[in-house]
Amino acid sequence: HFRPTRQLKNGVTLDELYPNGKWELDEALRPRYFDFGLRNAFLWLDRLHKLAEWVARHSFHPFRKRALKKCEQWMLERYEGSDGLAAIFPAMLNSVIALEVLGYEKDHPIFAREYMQLKKLEHHTPDSMRIEPCFSPVWDTAIVSIAMRESGVPAEDPRMKRAAEWLIDREIRFRGDWYHKNPVDVEPSGWVFEFNNKWNPDVDDTAMVLLALRQIATDNPKRRDECFRRGYNWMLAFQCKDGGWAAFDKDCTKSILEKVPFADHNAMLDPECVDITARILEVMGLEGVPITNPQVQRGLAFIKKMQEEDGSFYGRWGVNYIYGTWQVLRGLKTFNYNMHEAWLIRAHDWLVSVQHADGGWGERCNTYDDPVHKGLGPSTASQTAWAVMALCTYGDPGMATLRRGVEYLCRTQNSDGSWTEDEITGTGFPCVFYLKYDMYRNSWP
């Protein structure tokens, strides 16, 4: 409907991002003759759509105003209880632009609030400004709480109690957008990644919070247990047809949507993934669910189906095969599963095979573009910790590979107890953008 543009001042350009210069770049998506694939069909339809747009701009279009109003109302509703639209930079930025073209003045309360939320993501230095994609307090708090407990901090420690109460207070008791695809008879629950984003609780954060809450004492154990049970039941309700779990939705896997020209880097879907499925199995195993449970069996079948030929597992939300393989081994161990079954030994052997000469493990984001790079990259504290935790599931503390991994972590620790990690080990959208969790370098080891 609108095509806002803004002229950059003082000759500022982004030409350095284009190897051959911006003006030599042709980004047009042109349909090809005699290509009968879905993507090409959508490109031809796109040509017709652009023709219809031209006609609409130069003639009568009775539904435009109504359509814009519906879009505006949908957006305004989702500002409620959220720190910006979806509390993540791309949606927040686009929504601020949308408000401006819809005629909202800069001093309008809604525009001012959304613009302020966007500005909170800025990090300024004397000579630069960087933008954080979003905040991750729930995720970070849950992981750090687990790390502290497994490092020997008592469950009754005041710091642990405060963390538990903070997490409990952030349970989402609201029926958000997830209900449209998953209208189940279950109490609304779940947790989000950010501070406030009530429309979009996700299964992965929920699983991590549950792993934390079950290890921490509170002054009101009944409240904690009721919160845990709601979150647990809500999480289980998202198992997909294939047996796995995804992050935000259930069975959001219609691949035809990735063929349309407006597909956002082919990141429109929310397919089931091994790492989340294995983490949910970890929660179920710790809760004493037997391996014969139908949901466990379906999840297990999904994981087996997704194993790579070399024994590794793809990591959707962490970089990459080290992350996925670690979570599978850790998840199944909670069932006292036979870790010496052939398929799990293959996963174990793959991890051992990619250990670096310095004793650590490392893998870069380019593995998403080409798996030939899997297991390659500078050793990092977080990825080494994942590999060490995975190998610990085999119960042999004297294993040479395991010992070398621990020695790497001890040797690279800084005098203040922290680790230095320059590599990015978190995944936002594979092949599109990645996340550098600054706490990963300390919380995972």
Reading the block at residue 297, the tokens are: 């069996």
Reading the block at residue 217, the tokens are: 């004492």
Q: Which residue has the tokens 């294995």?
A: 278
260: exposed, middle or buried (C-beta count within 10 Å: 0-12, 13-18, 19+)?
middle
Q: Which residue has the tokens 């109003």?
A: 69
Rounded CA gap, 137 and 170, in Å? 11
As a residue count, the chain comes to 445
H-helix or E-strand containing 101? helix 89-101
Beta bridge partner(s), residue 433: 429
Secondary structure letter of residue 443 according to DSSP: H
Helix (H, G, I), strand (E, B) or coil at 254: coil
Decide if 204 is catalytic. Answer: yes
Rounded CA gap, 297 and 281, in Å? 10
Q: What are phi and psi of 136, to 5 degrees?
A: -135, 50
41: exposed, middle or buried (C-beta count within 10 Å: 0-12, 13-18, 19+)?
middle
Contact between 192 and 139 (Cβ < 8 Å):
no
> Alpha helices, DSSP H only, in 120-173?
137-150, 158-169
Q: What is the CA radius of gyration of the chain?
A: 24
Contact between 144 and 201 (Cβ < 8 Å):
no
Rounded CA gap, 147 and 382, in Å? 12
Closest CA to 407 of 375, 437, 384, 391: 384
Selected catalytic residue, list 83, 202, 204, 270: 204
Rounded CA gap, 351 and 56, in Å? 58
H-helix or E-strand containing 123? strand 122-125
Catalytically active residues are 204
